[in-house]
Chains A and B, each alone.
Chain A
Amino acid sequence: MPEFAAQRPFEVGRRIELRGPSSYAWLVVTLADSEPEALDNLILEIAAATSLPFRVLNIQDLSFEDVQAHLHQPDADGVVLSGFQDFDPPIWSKWDVNRSRFQRPGPIVLLLTTAELSRFCSLAPNLRSFVGGSIFPLASSGGQLSEAEKSQRIQDLEKHYGTSSQDVIQRAQDGILPPEPQFVEWLVLLGRGDLV
């Protein structure tokens, strides 16, 4: 799906972070069918970027009312909804007309395949209006950077901030690293997400 701008999970997380913790945000992230492991990476990196607790809610075996209850208990965290493979037109329609029931301060990310996205855009115009342009296919390899891409990104950050990765780790350990998302990303790239 080349039409939408591909994003890395961390970039999706930065968007959510920028919108704030009570943004009532709706986003769609699309994954290729063959990349289920990318979900773990998505959650990890979004959580690192946002400092919001995030959970995955697989809705496949849940009723509409169950999903509603799960979204509101609690309603301030981030939720990634997955498991839309069995959604037929009546179910999409039910979700669409009852949009108000899902309204919550915490962000909602719908995890869809490209085929599910087409059905979503076609059958759920009210929800699509809420999502707007926030439809992001994860970049290749489920958004995970290759080793070469990671090295290049770390080099870019070192150059931009004029400091070494070791210094960033040291500052994080000393608790004096600024809370900017770029530093969080930097630590995650270095495999030191534990310091975030």
Chain B
Amino acid sequence: MPTETEVNTRLDRRERFRIYMQKLNPTAPAQTVIELGLASTDLHESLYEKLAARADLDPGSQQLLVGGIGSGKTTELLLAQRWLNEKQESVCLFIDISAETDLSGLHSGAIVAGFGVHLSRAFRNSAAGKGLSKIDSSEVKKYTDEVKHFAFGKTESIWVPDDDYPEQEYEPDEEPDYEPDYEPGHYVRRTTPGKLQPPFPALQRDLKEITKALEFFISRLRSQQLDTVVIFDGLDRLLTPEKFWSVVHQDFRALRSLGVAVLAAAPLSVLYGKGRSVTDHFDRVHHIASVSIDPGKTAKLKSVLVQRGAAELALRPDIERIAKASGGVLRDLITLARDAGEAAYLDGSDGIKSTHVRAAAKQLGEGYLRGLSAGQLKLLRKLARDRSIDLSSEPAVELLATRRILEYSATDFRVHPALEPLIKLKEENA
């Protein structure tokens, strides 16, 4: 049986690994990561400052933040929000639209509805919403209700006179000997659906009607020298440009007319092929490319790992291996570091070794490999061999959007390094 000292040593080991796992958690909410001081603010050249500064200087501007899955878009958007909040010159709303409504059935009006709900709430919590006169309070309530009804729908009782119905073919034997002293009719319950409950057809007229309520809040905030900025996260999950554009185009037009600055996450596919036409509608499109993993250029990725405590368990060569296997994708970087740590712990090792990194990279690569069609594999093999790919084809863009292909620059596309050896192996075994 182990001595007390030996048990303590083992518990220390468990504690060390536990702390490591908590800091290198790829699924922790981005807000938590920022609050814990674990987010790397310069991984993408302080992109959040550029986003925030433009929104700050140019009310009504609309910017897209484009990047593949797991590239760190949410972190950049949250950092932009923090930057704007620190300046105290605007009310900055952060809306994860998929948390508000069903993105797969999202329709025109839903984005404005989500914005309205957040705006009216922010207004009531702001200095502009405090100490209001009775008249002002009544106006705030009126417009708040309008926004709520627009977003969530309403049910009301309406009077329907019987005259509105076609006459029944009914002939009583005798005429009634009294005259009713009220208009014949009855109440019915009428429900108007809200915009946050899909699916409903696009109704641009509704959008125009709700802008009056939104304008009320925005102008009141402006009278306090506060501009309105809204950040929409989650829209990048609409992977095709068609889906993305069908959801945003009417709503973003309405927001522009209100002078609201918009920052929105968008799918990578808007940068390629027919998706390019979408970007024409925005003032600026920022692209988060994969971070370089070329020899001598992995310092940024390694610093992310070190900032999160990777050096507690891994030596420099293994941190370098993790960085390279990630392909420069932020979430994959964190995932690999966590999984290598997990492998080391289960292996009984006190630290991460190259075998653990290899095992973690293989697992990640297998996840990318699984579910690929023969046609997709062919495309990936061609890219691995020739280092070129035709991005006007939808299958290629899909591989890019799902991170099997990574983009490092406008001319540098590669197969994800965790996947590449596996597709070669699969070809050899075929």
Tell me the A residues contacting B by CB distance below 8 Å.
Answer: 3-5, 11, 14-15, 18-20, 23-26, 64, 90, 93-94, 96-101, 103, 117-123, 125-126, 128-135, 161-163, 167-168, 171, 178, 180
Contact = CB atoms under 8 A, between A and B. Distances in A.
B366 A4 contact: yes
Contacts of B25: 19, 23-24
B319 interface: no
Contacts of B361: 133
Interface in B343-368: 345-346, 359-364, 366-368
Interface string B3-28: 00001001100100110011001111
B379 to A, nearest CB: 15
Contacts of B362: 5, 133
Given A20-B18, A125-B403, A132 B1 contact: no
B21 A97 contact: no
A24 B331 contact: no
B104 interface: yes
Contacts of A97: 98, 103-104, 234, 237-238
A125 B69 contact: yes
Nearest to B234: A100
Contacts of B96: 100
Contacts of B238: 97
A125 B104 CA distance: 14
Contacts of A101: 98-99
Interface in B232-279: 234, 237-239
Nearest to B365: A133
- Sorted nearest first, the 7 A-B pairs with minimum C-beta distance are A133-B363, A122-B371, A121-B371, A132-B335, A121-B370, A163-B1, A133-B364
Contact of B367 (A93, A128, A167): A128
B331 A129 contact: yes
B346 A129 contact: no
B402 interface: yes
A178 B13 CA distance: 14
Given A5-B363, A125-B69, A126-B237, A94 B102 contact: yes
A125 B360 contact: no
Interface of B: 1-2, 7, 10-11, 14, 17-18, 21-22, 25-29, 69-70, 96, 98-99, 102-105, 234, 237-239, 331-332, 335-336, 338-339, 342, 345-346, 359-364, 366-373, 401-403, 422
Contacts of A23: 21-22, 25, 27-28
A168 B14 CA distance: 20
A122 B398 CA distance: 10
A80 B105 CA distance: 27
Contact of A133 (B27, B69, B98, B367): B367
Given A129-B403, A132-B331, A15 B371 contact: no
A18 B17 CA distance: 7
Contact of B363 (A4, A96, A99, A123): A4
Nearest to B19: A20
A126 B366 CA distance: 16
A99 B104 CA distance: 11
Contact of A20 (B22, B332, B345, B367): B22
A167 B1 CA distance: 8
